[in-house]
Each structure stands twice: as structure tokens, then as C-alpha cells.
Structure 1
Amino acid sequence: DRAEAAMRHTDATRRSAMFAVDVARHELEAAQTALQHSAARAHGETPERVAVHAPITGRVLNIPRQSEGVVTPGQALIEVGDPAALEVEIEVLSADAVRILAGMRAGIPVEFTRWGGTDPLAGRVRVVEPTGFTKISALGVEEQRVRIIADIDAPMETWARLGDGYRVEANFILWQGADVLQIPASALFRQDKGWAVFRYDGSRARLHPVEVGHNNGFAAEIVKGLNADDAVIVHPSDAIADGVRVAPR
């Protein structure tokens, strides 16, 4: 883990240094252009055209100004981006952001799906922003959310069709294990101070206390109380009780 963290830090330092070199080169070119323009004016010449070079090599993403005219210093002429430097911005609930932040030292892996390709893309969390914001959900509920910045680790040739502002879905892998006994989380319900399920024995529902491990809200790890070949009842209603006859549907 320390070696991976050191590698990511070194890579970030390298990218920062390369960006600083690009900025310095752009400032030099801008100064040279201004000098040439001033020298021409000093000789009574008025250049009709001044070349403005982009600070980086990349793809034109947007042209805010579509026609000629007077521009002010600092006004954006075009937006240029490096397609190989895409980052993913993800909004999560603040409660989930706390869990993701706690596991960042281990390098939480991310899986990007529904991006347009056939296979998921591997990624890794880079930044969990320190401040949250309020957003109204589709159900009209106020939620506190946090933005997370992640990088795509997959080779660029696999996601070269992705562009700025494209939509993806992110799945954060906070924990994973092998040979995990799991059931739908909808089969669980509270009993006394623990958890329980109704096991289907072929004709009747049988109440079984269980010990739950990890739970992501969709699937739950069962540490104790069930076997791999046991069938459980999901979304048990009030009509289900221990010993009641049931039938699959």
C-alpha cells in the first residue's frame, strides 16, 4: 500500500512539473509575441494578425466566441483539453463520502459502467472534496452531497471515445472477498437486537437469526446462521411467521 501511495504521489508530482513547464513555455511565447508586436509598432507597422498559441496540445472543446471582434485581456477564446487527462467527477451522499475517505489510503478501486462500452472501466479515487452541498433528489428530498474526483486507470485506447461532459456510473469497491455467502438485503429484518431471515424449507417459513457482515443495501454478507444451499424469503410481509406454509412464485 505504501509503495502504491508513493507511486501515485510521484506520478502526481511528475504531472504537476510537466504542467508547470507547459505554463512557462506559454508565458515565454506570449512575451515573445508581445515583444514582436511592440517592435512592429515602434517601426510604424501595424500587424493585421497576431498568432495566439494554446498553452497545451489537445483537442478544442468549446469556442465561446464564434465571430470576430474586440476582446479584452484574459477573455477566453477557445477551451482546449487533453483527451488523455480526463477525470471523472462523481456526486455521492455525504455519509458515503465518509466511508470512501476512510479507505483512500488503501486506494479505493472504482468501476465505471454504462459509459457506452461493453466492459467496465477500472479507476481509482484521487480526491474527496472537503466541503459538501445541498441538492434536491428526484423525490424532492434535500440531500447533502460531496464531489469525488477519480482517475481512469484503464488503457486510453479502451475509452478513447469518451469526451468532456460524458456520463458514466461509478461503483466504489469498499470491500471485497472470496467465497462470500450473501443474500439479498431485502430478506433481512430486525429481531430483538439482531438480524433474522425466513428460510424456506420446502413448504414452510422457518425463522432463523443470522449474523450479518458487510451490507451495501443490495446484498448482505452472512457470517453465521445460513448455509450456501438455503433459500430465503425476500420482502417478507406481516403474514409471514415461523411455521407458516408458503409456496414459491
Structure 2
Amino acid sequence: MKNMVQWRRRIVLALIAALVGWGLYSGFRAQPVVVDLGAAARAPMRVAIEQEGRTRVVDRYVITAPVAAYARRIALDVGDAVQTGMPVVTLEPQRAEVLDVRRRAEAEARVAGAQANIGAVEQRMKAAQAGAGLALKDLQRVRTLRAAGHVTADAEDRGVAEAERAGSELRSAQFTVATARHELEAARTALGYAAAGGPADPVVLRSPVAGNVLKIPRKSEGAVSAGQALLEIGDPRGLEVEVDVLSADAVRISPGTRVLFERWGGEGALEGVVRVIEPAGFTKVSALGVEEQRVWVIVAFTSPSAQWQRLGDGYRVEASFILWEDKDVLQIPASALFRDGSGWAAFVVEQGKAVKRRIEPGQRNGLIAQALSGIREGEQVIVHPDDRLREGASVTAR
């Protein structure tokens, strides 16, 4: 009986000693560092510059008063359709003022200049016609070669884009010829009004092109000065997008860069290409009050017009300039990378331990980074590593 009591006492003392030992071990041993983890995975990746822009009509025509006159009330409203040669504004002469000899001579000189300008723009239109015809012939040849399997689909796409560009230049040249003829008519009208010298027939200003009324600066009747804008006309079917980007981002963009419009109000994404990067920048104050140097980038739509016909002049869009993209990229969170000497490294979790690996990063878009070497698919990395992490430190996921 006495031996059994002693054995029980020994067992209790042994258990107490084991608990004390375990408590001391647990209290003094290094605790695992709580970390956030991310996985290396293969997925599509895109590097893009995102910025807001607005649409604008490619060919916009402002009808101005050729002389100081009295304008009748404009019957048109914004959005009304007009045809080439359609009367849009009626001017009455100011009876209290007559053009003197000097101003009459100036009017005659403007008529002569407008006549000479018509010949110049007609020659440019012929050149544009030749270019458009050549682009169509080249496209037909490329399609023939494509059908035979001698060229790629990319060559056919470039041929289509070149044909559309040449067609746009031809239409623009035709609009320029129509505008030059309108300017000649306006100059002749000014000369005829000067010759009248008093009450005469009203001066009728006509639309130089077919399109829609975009803006009416002044709808009511009243006296107008020479050169005052009376009406803006354009064809909303010919739209482009102007986007102001930081000058540091503009140097990364080049003509022909692919552009996506993913949040524009309609279904699906619209596509376009950079047409022009304006060579001069301007200063703009941001919402935070910081002065920024920005550059206008002009983007032409490449999606079929039926997809974006609901857009109008001055509509807001969000443009993404695609600098680089790939459909199968091994990537990790960009916040997992940190400087290690002259290169980059990341902590990889192996059997609950933090192991530092040299990583060779590729493309980055701010959130994720391409891993060219140093890590395998499926391995876990520690994001936002702090100063508590050391090589071989025990870690646990948050």
C-alpha cells in the first residue's frame, strides 16, 4: 500500500515537472511570424496605362459670320440633321454701316484667295483618292494571298486598317474641298453685301457638309460681328477619342498602340489604336492641387461603328493603353518582391519556414509581377514582408 502511494506521488510530480518544462519551452521558444501569403500561378497578364478621355467629332465645322450683320433667329436645334448646301443661318445687312473702298478691296482679295485655295484642296483630294485606291488594291492582293495561305491574319488586319485610314483621309479631303467652296461662297457674299451698300436681300449661310448640329453658340437673333461663331456642324459617325496622359506615360505610348475602352456605358469592350501623340504638352492642376505636365493622345476606333454609334461628341470613356500582354504568365504579387543587393528576392514558404529566393522579375503592372526565374508554379510567397522575417524563420498564415 505504501509503495503504491509513493508511485502515485512520483507520477504526479513527474506530470507537474513535464507541464512546467513544456510551459517554459513554449514561453521562451520563438513564436511563428504571422504573415499574408500569395501563390505563384499562371494566368493572363496585361500591362496598361489607364486614363479617362472624351470623344470628339473628327471633322468639325464652325460656321461663322462672314461680315458684321444682323442674324435672324436660328430655327435649328442641337442634334438636328443637315445636308450639304442646306440653309442654316440667315443674315441681314446692317443698314447703318456700308463697306468703304478699302474694305471692298479686301473682300475682293478674299474672293480671289478662296478661288485659289479651291484648286489646292482639289489636288489634295485627288492625291487622297489615289492613295485610297492603292490601299484597296493592296488589301485585295493581301486577301488573295491570305486565302492561299501565304500571309498571316495580322497582315490582312494591317491591310484593312490601312484601307480604312486611306478612306478616312479621302473623306476628310472631300470635306476640305466642300469647306473651301463654302468659304469662296462666303467671300463672294461679303463682296456682294459690300456692293449693296444698304438694304438688300438677306445673306444665307449654308452647311458645307452633311451631318448634325453639334453646338449653337447663339440661337436668338441679334447683331453679330465678323468671324463670330454661329453654328457648329459635324458627322457624329466619325468619332475619335482624346485622352490627356502624364508626359511620363506618353513616352511609353507610340502610334499604333492598342487601346481598350472597357467602361464606356455599353456592353462589351471597344477597341482602338493610337493615331497621334501631340508633340506639345500642357500644365494641368490635379484634384489634389498638384501641377502636372500632360499630353494629348488621339485614339481612333477600330471596332465596327455599329458597336459605338450610341456615343456622341464629348462623351466620357475610360481608355486602357495596352503596353504589353500575354495569355500565359507565371506571376506573383508585386508586393512580395524586395531589393536584395543589385537584384530582387522574395520569401518562399517551405515546410513552414521562410526561405529567401532570388527572383528575376519581368513585366509589372503595379499589383502583380512576372516571375522569369526563381520560383515554381504553386509555391507560396510572403506578401508585404517586414523586418521580423529572417531566413529560416517559422511562419504561419494569417
Q: Give the structure-1-normalised TM-score.
A: 0.82
User: Could you report, residue by residue, the CA deviation over 1:66-85 in whole angstroms, capped at 9, with x for unpaired residues?
Assistant: 31101122211122222122
Q: Does 1:93 align with 2:249?
A: no
User: Could you report, residue by residue, the CA deviation over 1:82-101 in whole angstroms, capped at 9, with x for unpaired residues?
Assistant: 21222211122212111113
Q: Does 1:182 align with 2:361?
A: no
**C-alpha distance 245-122 of structure 1, shift in aligned 2 (>3 A):** same
Q: Which AA in structure 1 matches 2:176?
A: A
Structure-2 residue corresponding to 1:22? 178
Q: Which AA in structure 1 matches 2:281?
A: G
Taking only aligned residues, the RMSD between alpha carbons, in angstroms, comes to 2.9
- SS at 2:281 equivalent: strand
Match for 1:155 among 298, 304, 311?
Answer: 304
User: Could you report, residue by residue, the CA deviation over 1:161-214 in whole angstroms, capped at 9, with x for unpaired residues?
Assistant: 222222111111112234221223222211111111222346333322111112
**C-alpha distance 228-55 of structure 1, shift in aligned 2 (>3 A):** farther
**C-alpha distance 58-242 of structure 1, shift in aligned 2 (>3 A):** farther
Q: Which AA in structure 2 matches 1:174?
A: L
Q: Which AA in structure 1 matches 2:310?
A: R
2-structure distance, mates of 1:140, 1:200 = 44
- SS at 1:180 equivalent: strand
Q: Give the structure-2-normalised TM-score.
A: 0.54
Residues 138-217 of structure 1: matches in 2 within 5 Å? 138-201=287-350, 203-217=352-366
2-structure distance, mates of 1:202, 1:171 = 41
Structure-2 residue corresponding to 1:68? 221
Match for 2:384 among 215, 235, 247?
Answer: 235
2-structure distance, mates of 1:234, 1:122 = 35
Q: Any gaps of 5 or more consecutive residues in structure 1?
A: none
**Greater strand percent: which structure?**
2
Structure-2 residue corresponding to 1:246? 395
Residue 235 of structure 1 deviates from its aligned partner by 2.4
Q: Which AA in structure 2 matches 1:159?
A: W
Q: Does 1:113 align with 2:267?
A: no
Residue 9 of structure 1 deviates from its aligned partner by 6.0
Q: Which AA in structure 1 matches 2:209?
A: I
Residue 31 of structure 1 deviates from its aligned partner by 5.3
1-structure distance, mates of 2:287, 2:337 = 27
What is the number of residues matched between the two proteins?
A: 242
User: Could you report, residue by residue, the CA deviation over 1:31-85 in whole angstroms, capped at 9, with x for unpaired residues?
Assistant: 565577679x59x9733x4432122222222211131101122211122222122
Structure-2 residue corresponding to 1:10? 166
1-structure distance, mates of 2:225, 2:233 = 19
Residue 28 of structure 1 deviates from its aligned partner by 4.7
Q: Which AA in structure 1 matches 2:314?
A: G
2-structure distance, mates of 1:140, 1:191 = 36
**C-alpha distance 138-46 of structure 1, shift in aligned 2 (>3 A):** closer
- SS at 2:335 equivalent: helix
Q: Which AA in structure 2 matches 1:172?
A: F
Q: Which AA in structure 2 matches 1:77?
A: L
2-structure distance, mates of 1:238, 1:134 = 41
**Greater helix percent: which structure?**
2
Question: Which one is further off, 129-138 or 144-153?
Answer: 129-138
Question: Which one is further off, 196-205 or 184-193?
Answer: 196-205
User: Could you report, residue by residue, the CA deviation over 1:8-41 in whole angstroms, capped at 9, with x for unpaired residues?
Assistant: 76345424422322213423543565577679x5
1-structure distance, mates of 2:357, 2:290 = 36
Q: Does 1:52 align with 2:205?
A: yes
- SS at 2:307 equivalent: helix
- SS at 2:313 equivalent: coil
**C-alpha distance 138-197 of structure 1, shift in aligned 2 (>3 A):** farther
Question: Which one is further off, 208-217 or 196-205?
Answer: 196-205
Residue 218 of structure 1 deviates from its aligned partner by 3.0
Q: Any gaps of 5 or more consecutive residues in structure 2?
A: 1-153
- SS at 1:134 equivalent: strand
- SS at 2:174 equivalent: helix
**Percent sequence identity over aligned pairs:** 54
**C-alpha distance 23-199 of structure 1, shift in aligned 2 (>3 A):** same
2-structure distance, mates of 1:112, 1:124 = 11
